[in-house]
Structure 1
């Protein structure tokens, strides 16, 4: 959530900035009308509260003197109903303003290129050279289905479309990838391995900005009166660990990593990537989250992105790093790098990691703060998150880039220790 002072100070200027960078239309007239009503009713509410307090003291003094208090009590009763109605109306208006504020995306950093869609993202680097095949490379679905390793039909029988059953050595390779990533980030990159719930309450989703805007993308559970949600990323659980907390300066940056199941309804994805494991309702991801001091978050963002790059380099997977333009960034992000891995079957780079600096946008919703030793006062932290990386897409990339003409798949050297020394699956 943006600083409320930005909404109050100059909403027209904010609206223009959001329109230019995000294509977001802020209803300035509605916001200004609500703010005017809020000020007017708040002043009247305070007047009535002061009047009530003054008259209450007067009643006490009159009673102490043994004098008649009926007239004053009648006066208090007279404005008591007005005060109650005024407080209710003030809460309603504040709720409307907050609802507007919750729907406003983060403001992009000045270093983010202007643009309306992914075609205007800016490539930062390429690593590795896509392999030249002396045969027509197969896609991951054909490679997996030949051996019964990847079974969409059985998954559809169990759960419906966009689910997958993995078997045998392919299931083991998938597990190996997750273990490799966790060990890399925990042992070499200094992230604390964390195991988190995959079912969370609504407060957690408000904290990291999935609610209210993206509720249609969430799977939900209902048990009696309790509604909870299946996480779409362990960023939600990890980041909310510091919700309503004050972190001491010496504990920052706080770096956490988790391997978890993730669930997305893909409500707005239409018919995209319905084949295979590219876009699933259930998938696994190794997530990176950092909680940082504001003046260190840009450097932490570069570091986090580099940690995700290392995964792909150790696996020998060609990739490119892209700086997203203003129109292609996520709702809560102020700056995002995407890593896109090369898929031979598509002859294209596809996203496998997204690393974002959210500034204080999520922290303000969560009231996640740190104690600044220079002032001794609590201030908002900055939150960062990134895929380190998506396990299913890494599996796809390994299958396609390491395939041989007979349909067998070489195991990248970095994974062989996790595969019991197996060098090839066939």
Structure 2
């Protein structure tokens, strides 16, 4: 949510920032609604003062026997009461319209975010690792002989339809191992607190992190009004909704492994083969709640946490800063980490690490009380995948494949795999 006072103070800067995201000016509409709302509030306050003054004079008119004045004043009190109710209702309606409009306007990009219309405008920051030179044509994950028995798309389609998978055997275990490994690294090396939260949340929880109202079609709503989370960013960030935290408790660094659900409404026809883009998937998410002065440093820290997982696994990657036209709705700056997938001969996103400033905090009314005293301030919120488990599985399979269809398992996962070091061409652990 945007700060209406900031828009009043500098509407041109607000519109200029929106223009960087390819949006038309909004300040005139916003400020017109705001002015009309404030005018109704002022008129209601004036009418209330008039009613109070008339109410005081009613008794005096009655006492001196001035019936005409008594009747006039009593009628005026009734008239002002009705006027106040009407003006308050108008102010409430205009306030709702203003909030509804502000709720659909994306966050403003930081000045250092590169301009661009789409992903072509993203800028590479750095790379890690050298893609392996294969002496055979590398396959995509679902084509690898050792992986194929554990990736059952036909049964999943029978159960649920397209964009689902049934994992079994060695693949299911490797998938589980990756999630456990990520949680262990984040909690023991990166200082995050593990959380196991609900995957069904209220509409106001989805609103708090920006999934509603604008992107409802991208998620699933149950018949009783719960929503299936598209990422545990939703439940983790909303832990502080409506709270006033002590500054000493910041930063709060949280992580969770959860099921995630997305309708993929805007991606029809994209990545239909394999398990790259699914309706149901798993992620290990990171969320930080910070002091505004520390959010930039926290984003850099979170980025390194996510990159470190790939480095432990030996997966080459590149890190991109997203341009204004490719950032998510709630982000002010986003870094994407893209893992090398030799089967596709390209890098594909495996994590996004975003800082949202106070945008989500305003929607959630999440604040902190400064240690030295003073008025509560809005916290800053950040989120990032650490990592998308299914996509990490794809990267491990494709980068570890051998010519005979077997797959080498990264050494850091061996303790999670009962000491097994590879998947055989037949799909068993060895």
Q: TM-score range by the shorter chain?
A: over 0.9
Find the counterpart in structure 2 of residue 50 from structure 1: 49
| Structure 2 SS opposite 1:421 | coil
Find the counterpart in structure 2 of residue 162 from structure 1: 163
Q: Once the two structures are superposed, what CA deviation does each residue of 1:390-419 show, in whole Å capped at 9, x if it has no partner?
A: 000000000000011121111110111001
Cα distance in 2, alignment partners of residues 385 and 29 from structure 1: 32
Write the mapping of 1:5-404 to structure 2, written as runs, cut at 5 A. 5-19=5-19, 21-59=20-58, 69-143=70-144, 147-223=148-224, 227-404=225-402
TM superposition shift of 1:145: 8.0
| Structure 1 SS opposite 2:226 | strand
Matched, 1:4 2:4: yes
Cα distance in 2, alignment partners of residues 64 and 249 from structure 1: 59
TM superposition shift of 1:425: 1.3
Q: Once the two structures are superposed, what CA deviation does each residue of 1:32-71 show, in whole Å capped at 9, x if it has no partner?
A: 4323322332221111122223334444667799986544
| Structure 2 SS opposite 1:222 | coil
Cα distance in 2, alignment partners of residues 85 and 382 from structure 1: 38
Q: Is the 8 A contact 2:318 2:337 kept in 1?
A: yes
TM superposition shift of 1:263: 0.3
- When normalised by structure 1's length, the TM-score is 0.95
TM superposition shift of 1:103: 1.3
Q: Once the two structures are superposed, what CA deviation does each residue of 1:273-319 show, in whole Å capped at 9, x if it has no partner?
A: 01111110000000000000010111111000000001000000000
Cα distance in 2, alignment partners of residues 252 and 65 from structure 1: 66
Q: In 2 relative to 1, CA 408–123 (structure 1 residues): closer, same or farther, beyond 3 Å?
A: same
Shifted more, 56-65 versus 338-347: the winner is: 56-65
Q: Is the 8 A contact 1:321 1:338 kept in 2?
A: yes
Cα distance in 2, alignment partners of residues 197 and 213 from structure 1: 22
TM superposition shift of 1:146: 6.2
C-alpha RMSD of matched pairs (Å) = 1.8
Q: How many residues align?
A: 422
Shifted more, 386-395 versus 44-53: the winner is: 44-53
Q: In 2 relative to 1, CA 67–412 (structure 1 residues): closer, same or farther, beyond 3 Å?
A: farther
Structure 2 counterpart of 1:412, from 387, 410, 413: 410
Unaligned runs of 5+ in 2: 425-430
TM superposition shift of 1:120: 1.5
Q: Is the 8 A contact 2:406 2:422 kept in 1?
A: yes
| Structure 2 SS opposite 1:85 | helix
| Structure 2 SS opposite 1:321 | strand
Cα distance in 2, alignment partners of residues 241 and 67 from structure 1: 62
- When normalised by structure 2's length, the TM-score is 0.94
